[in-house]
Structure 1
Amino acid sequence: MTASWKISFGLMSICLLQCRAASQKVQLEPLNSTALRDSDVQFIATIQGHWEVTNWGVRGIQVLTIINSTNSIIPSEDRFSARFCVNTSRSCVEFTVHNVTRADAGEVVCNVQGHQPVTAQLYVQESGTVSIPGGNVTVKQGGEVELECVTTAWFPAPTISWTQNGQAVNSSLYNTTSTAHGDSFNSTSTVRLTASRNARVECLASLSTLTAPRSSSVYIEIVPKPPDWTVLIAIVVSFGSCGLLVFLILGIVICYKHRKEKKQNYQDEMRRVRTHSRLSVISTTEQVRGQANEYYESENQRNDTGDWTESGFMKHRHMTFV
């Protein structure tokens, strides 16, 4: 029983070593490759020792055969090609898939006759469109702007980011959702920005195979904020109120002075009129008395020049006696 177990173990070990040695005779690089749709992708097989025929398969379909003895390379279609590596012996073969499509994604198998097949994995990405609907935006300074970026027909869903005047926008200011649409993905990303100055805002969608992100951009134009007239109005109202009060006071003073002067002028006029009336009465009386008695002299005394005086008033008068 013990001897039988030992024999079985020894045979198993020999088989494993032989399988390992056989698998190590063919190496395929890279074992995982990701390519962008319509690009070319290469796989390199290194074969140790003599070999006669090598077959290449993509997604389970044999697409190319190499016959070493006749130096023949037989592709199934023009999109597949092979060649021996430069400056090496025939132990190195380069296999190329041209203009890869999504249908090429999957296993790529190198099968060297007499050896174990070696398998690599091919992934194919596809870029679609990027757009910011609505175009340029005009907003008041300090206002909030909401922009939406839409990507369609991508595989896998792209990584979306935003920039403002070339500076990355904080990821907390935008959110992105992606949904499957057939065998591709559509994504929507929404960003909210505070408009403090004119800015160029750009949405970028990227994949690992893209040398540069696909992008779409718009411009945010700031409309000058209308001036705040509150302070100026308050100042104008204050000065206006003070000026109105001053004019009111001046008006009252002027009116008071005018009324006072008018009253005084009225009193002076009345006094003048009374004085004139009194003098007229006296003059009339004296004329009557003078006609009655040519020697009559009133209580008014005549001075040396022949002028008559009455109660402090002096009146020049030329009298003619008949």
Structure 2
Amino acid sequence: MGPAFHILLILCTAGALAEVQLEPQMATVLRGANATFNCSVDQQWVVMSWLLNGNVVLTVTKDHGILSNDPRFTALNYSTGTLSIWEINILGVKRTDTGQVTCDVQNIQKVNAQLSIQVSGTVDIPDMNKTATQGDLAYFQCSALGWYPAPTISWTVGGSIADADMYNISTLPAGQDLFNSTSTLGIVASNSIIVRCLAAVPALTTPLTSSAFLTVVARPQQINLTVLIAVTVTVGVVLLLVIVIVIVVCCYCQRKNSTHSRYEEDMRKAQGGRGQGADNLGYATDSHAGAANGRLNDSVMSQPASINGHQIPNAVGVHDVDSPGTLYTQHSGMKKARYATIV
């Protein structure tokens, strides 16, 4: 092998070592945004082709520049004296654009990169204003709908990031490779604050947020149970005592009225029997008694009497002038006499 062969081998080896750079190697872009890739080569080249998922979408030549018919794909030349740099822009990316992007420098090198299209959905807290009693648990629910991939959800409470154990997250497929996520936050109502729900995917530079306001009201004053029981027992005892007093007074008055009625009835009977002897057991008539005995009997008739019957000598009663009210009798044989005890 002569020198010519060695020269050719060196040239071929140099060509094989020529390097094509494609940046970025991985691009994550939101649906509807633009995707940008740069392809650079430090060797002499003739044709540079751009492919998306194996399909040629744009061609650039060293001598004639851009050759393309699809307005979604454009290219810009940032070449320097020693380095050729071409930038490709994919405008308004779609979900179907997800996949492989290739820069193929003809007869030199082919380099691949990955394009990922993500979808930013919506985020919402339905109850934007909530009122809770101080010390109670207040719950907020956040809905993140139509995302790809499933969104990352977080919360802030009063401007501070909430701990992960304060909320939960559940995710379900929603069709067309999209996802719906919901999250519920529970906090102790201590003071009025602003609560925010944040949803994001890697392609979002700033998470989407939804806010709600929590209004905290003071808890009503609670009555001490011991005091309540004491007051209830005291009131009950007082009421019972009043009832007992009323019953005793009523019974006393009823008994007094009954006694008074019986007394009036006895007096009426006693007064009504005068002159008739109906109620006076000491009333008796004696045809042999004198006028004095008749007057005595009349005075005795008006009083209750107990009578004892004895056989005594017949006597005529006379009054002793020295001892008024004393009745002396003269014996004139034995007659049945009645004694009246005056009460």
Matches of 2:187 and 2:83, distance apart in 1? 61
Query: Who is 2:73 aligned against?
Result: 80
C-alpha displacement at 1:22, in angstroms? Answer: 3.1
Matched, 1:40 2:46: no
Q: Equivalent residues in 2 for 1:142-221 (5 A)?
A: 142-182=135-175, 183-221=177-215
Matches of 1:19 and 1:137, distance apart in 2? 73
Q: Which has the larger radius of gyration?
A: 2
Shift of the 131–87 alpha-carbon distance from structure 1 to 2, 3 Å rule, reads same
**For 1:140, which of 125, 133, 140 is the aligned residue?**
133
Matches of 2:132 and 2:79, distance apart in 1? 61
Q: TM-score, normalised by structure 1?
A: 0.63
Runs of 4 or more above 2 Å deviation:
18-25, 86-90, 228-234
Q: TM-score, normalised by structure 2?
A: 0.60
Question: Which of the pair is proportionally richer in strand?
Answer: 2
Query: Who is 2:106 aligned against?
Result: 113
Query: Who is 1:66 aligned against?
Result: 60
Letter in 1 for 2:124: S
SS in 1 for 2:96: helix
C-alpha displacement at 1:26, in angstroms? Answer: 1.3
Letter in 2 for 1:45: C
Matches of 2:215 and 2:125, distance apart in 1? 16
Give yes or no for contact 2:49–2:56 (8 Å, CA) kept in 1.
yes
SS in 2 for 1:117: strand
Matches of 1:172 and 1:164, distance apart in 2? 13
Give yes or no for contact 1:23–1:116 (8 Å, CA) kept in 2.
no
Query: Who is 1:27 aligned against?
Result: 21
Q: Unpaired runs of 5+ in structure 1?
A: 1-14, 245-322
CA-based RMSD of the aligned residues comes to: 2.9
How many aligned positions are there? 226
Percent identity of the aligned residues?
Answer: 37
Q: Unpaired runs of 5+ in structure 2?
A: 1-8, 239-343
Give yes or no for contact 1:144–1:195 (8 Å, CA) kept in 2.
yes
Q: Deviation string for 1:213-251 (max 9, x for gaps)?
A: 1011111111221122448976x959x99xx9xxxxxxx
SS in 2 for 1:114: coil
Matches of 2:139 and 2:200, distance apart in 1? 22
Letter in 2 for 1:158: P
C-alpha displacement at 1:204, in angstroms? Answer: 0.3
Shift of the 233–122 alpha-carbon distance from structure 1 to 2, 3 Å rule, reads same
C-alpha displacement at 1:99, in angstroms? Answer: 1.7
